[in-house]
Structure 1
Amino acid sequence: MLGIFIQTSGILEKVNNLIESEKLLPKITKLHNDIERNKGRG
């Protein structure tokens, strides 16, 4: 029983990390694009 619980919480943690990175990815992409644009200007 405990083994299944530990397995499930591990999976949930992975899913949570995936969701966090999905939220983070557009921010990182935007930041990268802003930097590229500023480089072109300077």
Structure 2
Amino acid sequence: MAMAVRRIFCLDMDCFFVSVERVLNPTLVGKPVIVGAKPNQR
């Protein structure tokens, strides 16, 4: 029987969300941006 290979994949989606928001809202370029959510919506 072949043994299953386990892989772990990590994504930094916060960086992606900020990049998209900066494209949609260029006034954010060059400024620090925080990604957050209400505790019950995470």
Band the TM-score falls in, shorter-chain normalisation: 0.3 to 0.5
Q: Which has the higher contact order (CA 8 A, sep 6+)?
A: 2
Relative to the length of structure 2, the TM-score reads 0.39
Q: Work out which of the two has the higher radius of gyration on C-alpha atoms and give 1 or 2.
A: 1
Structure 1 or 2: more helix by fraction = 1
